[in-house]
Amino acid sequence: DAKTTQPNSMESNEEEPVHLPCNHSTISGTDYIHWYRQLPSQGPEYVIHGLTSNVNNRMASLAIAEDRKSSTLILHRATLRDAAVYYCILSHWDMRFGAGTRLTVKP
């Protein structure tokens, strides 16, 4: 199974950009890169996903390395509501979650 490696925790200041890294050196050609986040006492929430090209949506941007062995989730202006555990997942048809990165946002 393809696996991902993320830092256990990161801190950010409010209204500053946040770059959350993910390594996935064993990614296969058909694996999509998904990012979900989980706020306290809630189920995971979809953030963004991509295959090869960088992606943007209203929540975030996803930058994918040319060799696809790493990716970065970019929150352009962190807010206190972005404090959550962020999961980087390689999916073909099922989702295999790791431990994720706990993001703390300081006022």
Partner 1 sequence: ETGVTQSPTHLIKTRGQQVTLRCSSQSGHNTVSWYQQALGQGPQFIFQYYREEENGRGNFPPRFSGLQFPNYSSELNVNALELDDSALYLCASSPLAGAPGETQYFGPGTRLLVL
Q: How many residues are present in the chain?
A: 107
- Applying the rule CB under 8 A, the residues between 50 and 69 that interact with partner 1 are 51
Residue 34 engages partner 1 in binding (rule: CB under 8 A): yes
In whole angstroms, the minimum distance from the beta carbon of 41 to partner 1 comes to: 8
Report the distance separating Cα 71 and Cα 34, nearest Å.
10
Burial status of residue 28 (CB atoms within 10 A of its CB: 0-12, 13-18, 19 or more)? exposed
Candidates 45, 65, 76, 80; binder of partner 1 (CB under 8 A) is 45
Applying CB under 8 A, which residues contact partner 1? 30, 32, 34, 36, 41-46, 49, 51, 85, 87, 91-100
